[in-house]
Structure 1
Amino acid sequence: MAVPATAFAANSPSDAGDGRSTTAVAPAAVGLDDPAKKEIAMKIVSSAENSSLDWKAQYKYIEDIGDGRGYTAGIIGFCSGTGDMLDLVELYTQRKPGNVLAKYLPALRNVDGSDSHAGLDPNFTKDWKKAAEDSAFKTAQNDERDRVYFNPAVSRGKSDGVGVLGQFIYYDAIVMHGDGGDPTSFSSIRKRALAKAKPPAQGGNEKTYLNAFLDARVWAMKQEEAHEDTSRVDTAQRVFVQKNNLNLNTPLDWKVYGDSFHID
């Protein structure tokens, strides 16, 4: 069972033997927001999203993968059809007016909710790659990833009492499914899991709960043709659960879409 990611104090006798008590503070439990664990998370997601562990090479990535979400781009798969790409470009433009992507804001607002490229072609992909050379755009991608996906996943995972692996499982689910109100969103997946098992924060067994969540995640993925390959769960996250690696400790070995990956 995971412990809350907070330090606690305990009274213990002083080593000096003078009868006084001293306060010993236990180290805080490591969460996915620990820099080393976060780096692992970025690599595992990149293995699924980009078939590469080099997630920092993905700032410039952009293509239409035919999933009905328009262009997918950047380190976390911001999509022109789901609003998060629009939010990203708006943030970038607030910080750096007149940037190379600012002129596409009207088009991004118009195509939100569709797979349309109207107003984006033919130069949007070229300009995206140019913007990705700008450190301000990279920082904006990092910040939007954390605000929309990473921080909510870690926060919810900690409140449910799951450890680093569980927080990553939440993160990967939010990345793919978002957290809207539809039946395949993260919150709906979590609700299906809670109907089957209690999380550690409610006295449940962590492995049992994580398996229930992954079962619900697989169901959600199979509702959409573009996500029907569930190997990022079956031969990656599920493997870590089976190995009791609830802290996502290295070395790690997994497969995604038939490709093998390793982190020392």
Structure 2
Amino acid sequence: MNATKRGTSYGYSLYNFEVYGKAPATGAAHPAAAGPKAAALAASAGAASTGDLTDPKKKEIAMELVSSAENSSLDWKAQYTYIEDIGDGRGYTAGIVGFCSGTGDLLDLVELYTQREPGNPLASYLPALRKVNGSDSHTGLGSGFVSAWHTAAADPVFQQAQNDERDRVYFTPSVDQAKQDGLGALGQFAYYDAIVMHGPGSDPVSFGGIRATAMQHARTPAQGGDETTYLNAFLDARKAAMLTEAAHDDTSRVDTEQRVFLDNGNLGLNPPLSWKTYGDPYTIPE
């Protein structure tokens, strides 16, 4: 747009601006032909937009990365049966993303499972789950609940319920927010991993608060900022939040996993990937 004549003494006002046209034809000049600055800008734009975690292959990578940190294994599907109290004040932590009896997401999961399959092994524990919600209490649960969880974990209906609740509460909201912020697959994963551990709230140590802290130090790509600079700010804020909780003060999933990918310039989260969590090495080949 080239504005050449003002209609008033107040200057120009632009309310809508849209561009229509076709993509460049095959054989169009390479960005480098326009000079090194244009080539660098094109490369930067490509890196920033590379990858989408909703792609099945990228989503599988995300599940394996989370499992390496949550369960010390890349076999995330083996975690449907996982359940224990890790002493973080959230009661039982269970399933593929650590649904917790003290934070409501485990209750939501069992309610969904019971809607789909009444009379399942966990249905009788719903009253107890409602009572302990918001606390670390095991009252009304205990070994019987743990045993029932293991039994239910073999049920494909329960496995699908875990998948669906993971997506509804954690995966879809975090990835959608990352896309709105202009982030590629690595940034989308950083958001997803953060919301799994810290929850979707807005307080300083929840996902929303961590993101808000990062945005105080760097602009998102959607705001015109540099993607790498913003992600470093986000990982700094994430690490600070982790260090406030004894149960999460091992920050290797940031330091020797996500930061490694970022330092390597792998904004698309493209394999091969090599990283460590809790000192254990993992690799996802090409």
Superposition TM-score, scaled by structure 1 size: 0.90
For the 8 Å contact 2:185–2:269, the answer to whether it is kept is: yes
Which of residues 129, 134, 158 is equivalent to 2:155?
134
Q: Which amino acid aligns with 2:88?
A: D
2:179: which partner in 1? 158
Aligned pair partner of 2:129 in 95, 99, 108: 108
Aligned: 1:10 with 2:22 = yes
Q: CA deviation at 1:174?
A: 0.1
Q: Which runs of 5+ in 2 are unaligned?
A: 1-19, 28-48
Q: Which residue of 2 aligns with 1:147?
A: 168
| Partner residue in 2 for 1:125 | 146
- 190, 210, 213: which one aligns with 1:189: 210
Partner residue, 1:202: 223
TM-score (norm 2): 0.83
The alignment partner of 1:125 has SS state of: helix
Length, aligned pairs only? 245
SS of 2:93's equivalent?
A: strand
| Counterpart position of 2:234 | 213
Q: CA deviation at 1:180?
A: 1.4
Contact 2:50–2:267 (CA under 8 A) maintained in structure 1: no
Amino-acid identity (%): 67
Determine the structure 1 residue equivalent to 2:45: none
Runs (4+) of structure 1 moved beyond 6 Å? none
Q: Give runs of aligned pairs for residues 13-92 of structure 1, distance below 5 A.
A: 30-92=51-113
In 2: Cα distance, 1:112 partner to 1:37 partner? 33
Q: What RMSD, in angstroms, separates the aligned Cα atoms of the two structures?
A: 1.6
CA contact (8 A) 2:51 2:269 kept: no
Q: Which sections of structure 1, spanning at least 5 residues, go unmatched?
A: 1-7, 16-27
Query: Shift of the alpha carbon at 1:182?
Result: 2.1
Secondary structure of the 2:66 match is helix
Q: Aligned with 1:123: secondary structure?
A: helix
Following superposition, the deviation at residue 85 of structure 1 comes to 0.2
Greater fraction strand: 1
Q: For 1:231, which of 249, 252, 256 is the aligned residue?
A: 252
